[in-house]
Amino acid sequence: MQTTDIERDVREFVIQHFLSGDAGKLRADGSLLGDVIDSMGVITLVAYVQEHFGITVKDDEVLPSNLDTIANLAAFVERKIGA
Amino acid sequence: MASIEKRIISALLAKMRKRRGARMAPHGKLSVDSTAVVPPARLREALFSDFAAVAELKRRWGLGADSLENWERLWCRNPALVGSGVKRPIGWVLEANGAIVAYLGNISLQCRYGDRTLTAVTATAFVAEPPYRALAVTLAAAFYRQKSVDLFITSSAIEASGKIALAFKCAALPESDYDTVRFWVLRSYPFAQVLMNELRVSRLLLPIGSILAALAIRADTIIRRRWPRRSAIRLAVSEISLDDVGDDFQTLWTEKIKEKTRLYADRSAATLRWHFDIPGDRGRVRVLCCHKDGKLDGYAVVRSEVDPRAGLRTSTVADMIVRQDDPAVVHALLVAAYEHAKNEGSEIFQIQGFTCDVREVFSDWAPYQRKFPAHPYFYKATDPVLHRVLGDPKAWYACPFDGDASLVRPSYSSCDSHATFQRETESTQTVVAVVSESERTHVS
């Protein structure tokens, strides 16, 4: 699976589940910070990537650098799939 | 009749919650500009040099004042750390553009389970600026990935904290009643005044409204006999200060942990003194002791403090240990605690937790009840066998002594009393009023 496919799926999930389907509310840089998503949202998102991509996110991988943007999350998932 | 009562209650709750929502507005920046670029944050261990920034973050989000002396107490004079050679992070922060935007404290504790001494940690003061609340979970992850910890404890009544704890494979305390606080109204008029204020009764109607509400509470107290019952067995109870906690407490503790295999937070004499000796504490802590044949048979720690927002003085049974859980001693201590609360001038006397045997002692005193908005106690034992064993309510002796509930000043605490006051009736529990519900820990 390509990073772009992962990014597309994650972006779609965020838009549908946290932005009521309004893609315009997502920041241009794909940042999840601000008022896009809250702490429970991140947990939901991590649960989604685990189930959707068949990976396990360990406690020590729950880091800002893996979760703060859609691009970073997609890159993290790709690394996990490739590992 | 029930329908009218329900409609009144519903109206009361709606009004109070609306006001609560307005009052919960934080003292700092409120809104997030969705077009502004939010600087990325990095996670790191908290340092003592972060104190001023963390204290300001906590103050801004309503967690109250903190002090460097308290930090020194929690992390330099903590009996669970002193002499152990163990070094643990004092917490974690998220830092963005050189500013601290989120914090989670990490307090070391010791627990006993049978002959095992368990290394425990409790999370405290979870707070994050709104733009970084998505990343608050990374602080929790740092807490739960600590090594050489036997037991993780979260004693926060914030729904989000509970959900995060569950996401990290914690379990709620199996004691189903732990989220219920039993309380008695000792002075009805000040209590009624607060109730009227919460209902935003106009200034003109406030005096008469308070008088009528106070009369209703007094009538209800008399009709339902909401006070301690006399016991056939009279035991003398003495009152001492924290400084007088000495060797007899150590002896009681040593013998207590041999009685039953239950999970106890450490109550050695040194830990007891440290636990309740909070720098700058506005409250008053007194220790009530019951001796039999010259031997300490039990004690109760009662903490009295004025809630700075509501203005109500509340006395809480913060801890109680009784040899063999002797009901006569429990009864004597609780009666003495109730009388002590009255003498302190408290408007409320309250008890939370302990075992069902302890609660049975005062069940016929007809307490009011209030529930926390979310379950206030989650745990995770790293040993899967122990984790499974702790799924049995009988394995616990949980009370406000556990976690950070009474370890930090209530105004520091993450375990706030989101008070849905309830009145206990013979067969049903009916909500009568919400007196206060302010979320002091802000992680949404």
What's residue B203's pLDDT?
85
Question: Whole-prediction pTM value?
Answer: 0.85
Q: Which residue from B41, B130, B26, B56 is spatially nearest to B92, judged by alpha carbons? A: B41
Residue B38 in domain: no
Query: In this structure, what CATH number is given to the domain that contains residue B279?
Result: 3.40.630.30
Residue B396 in domain: no
Residue whose pair of structure tokens reads 């209530």 in the numeric block: B410
Residue B436 in domain: no
Where does the pLDDT of residue A30 fall: very low under 50, low under 70, confident under 90, or very high at 90 and above? confident
Query: Residue B10 corresponds to which tokens in the numbers above?
Result: 């519903």
Residue B440 in domain: no
- For B443, the closest chain A residue by CA position comes to A39
Please write down the HEC assignment for all residues of B155-209.
CCCCHHHHHHHHHCCCEECCCCCCCEEEEEECCHHHHHHHHHHHCCCCCCCHHHH
In chain B, the number of structural domains is 1
Residues from chain B that touch A18, judged by Cβ atoms under 8 A, are none
CB B342 within 8 A of CB B184: no
**Interchain contact, B133 vs A38, CB within 8 Å:** yes
- For A26, the closest chain B residue by CA position comes to B34
**Interchain contact, B135 vs A64, CB within 8 Å:** yes
In chain B, what is the greatest distance between 2 CA atoms, to the nearest angstrom? 73
Query: In this structure, what CATH number is given to the domain that contains residue A26?
Result: 1.10.1200.10
- For A62, the closest chain B residue by CA position comes to B138
Residue B331 in domain: yes
Q: Which domain holds residue B194?
A: 180-372
Q: What is the pLDDT of residues B270-295, one digit of tens each?
A: 999 999 999 988 889 999 999 998 99
**Interchain contact, A59 vs B168, CB within 8 Å:** yes
Give the C-alpha distances (Å, rounded to integers) separating B117 from B249, B269, B281: 18, 16, 30
pLDDT in tens, chain B (444 residues): 445 544 554 555 556 656 655 554 454 444 445 556 789 999 999 999 999 999 999 999 888 778 999 999 999 999 999 978 888 999 999 999 999 999 999 999 999 999 999 999 999 999 999 999 999 999 999 999 999 999 999 988 788 888 899 999 999 999 888 999 999 999 999 999 988 888 888 888 889 999 999 999 999 999 999 999 888 888 999 999 999 999 999 999 999 999 999 999 999 999 999 999 999 888 899 999 999 989 999 999 999 998 877 789 999 999 999 999 999 999 999 999 999 999 999 999 999 999 999 999 998 899 999 888 888 999 999 999 999 999 999 999 999 999 988 888 654 444 333 332 333 322 222 222 222 233 334 454
Residue B217 in domain: yes
Closest partner residue to A43 among B34, B131, B137, by Cβ?
B137
DSSP string, B198-260: HTT--TTTHHHHHHHHHHHHHHHHHHHT-SPPP-SS---EEEE-GGG--HHHHHHHHHHHHHS
Q: Which domain holds residue A70?
A: 3-82
In chain A, the number of structural domains is 1
Q: What is the ipTM of this complex?
A: 0.88
What's residue A35's pLDDT?
79
